[in-house]
Structure 1
Amino acid sequence: MNTPDKKNMKHECPHQQECLQLLQSILDGEATTEQKDRFMGHHLEECMPCYQNYHLEVAIRDLLKKKCSNEAPQDLVDSIKQKVIQNLSK
């Protein structure tokens, strides 16, 4: 992913929920190569909310990996994701 020109990025995403779900699929390795390339190669460079969500999701996942010696319990991961989604809707 290239470093985007933040001043030229859109500041609202009309599809933020769908983008967040796609982003999670990408990070979980469940998205197709085409979905990943389109989202990571184009959309993130144009959309500030999705760019920020990407970095937030990566930071959350990295923190969970560091703090949990074993794999994080799925209910904890789901709870955190749900809270992030709720905060994005506000």
Structure 2
Amino acid sequence: MFPEAEKVQKKTSCEHHQDCMKIIQLILDGQATDDQITHFKSNVDKCLPCEKGYELEKCIKETMQLRLEKKCVPTSLLDCIKRKIQEL
């Protein structure tokens, strides 16, 4: 018989959880840098809160994409919103 594979003990708390969640959002939105993705991938297997946070955020995003109906927005409304944003 083969010896049992070593199980990696995951951290149960994350001292950088807010920063990790920001990176998770960037990854899911397709805006993360290669370095951020590499760093996240190397650490997610070691940190239970980050793993669970990633799975939850991914699930929420996928659900919203499936459930929300996409509708065309009038150009005049888009222009109005853009002007208001620029005024901020």
Q: TM-score, normalised by structure 2?
A: 0.68
Structure with bigger helix share is 1
Gaps of 5+ in 2: 1-5, 72-88
Alignment of 1:3-82 (within 5 A): 8-40=9-41, 42-70=42-70
Cα deviation digits, residues 19-47 of structure 1 (max 9, x gap): 0001101111111111101102x111100
Cα deviation digits, residues 48-89 of structure 1 (max 9, x gap): 000000000000001101110218xxxxxxxxxxxxxxxxxx
Q: Percent identity?
A: 33
Gaps of 5+ in 1: 72-90
Q: Provide runs of 4+ in structure 1 moved above 2 Å.
A: none
Aligned 8 A contact 2:8 2:46 in 1: no
Aligned to 2:76: none
Cα distance in 2 between the residues matched to 1:6 and 1:68? 40
Q: TM-score, normalised by structure 1?
A: 0.67
Aligned residues: 66
Aligned-pair Cα RMSD in Å? 1.9
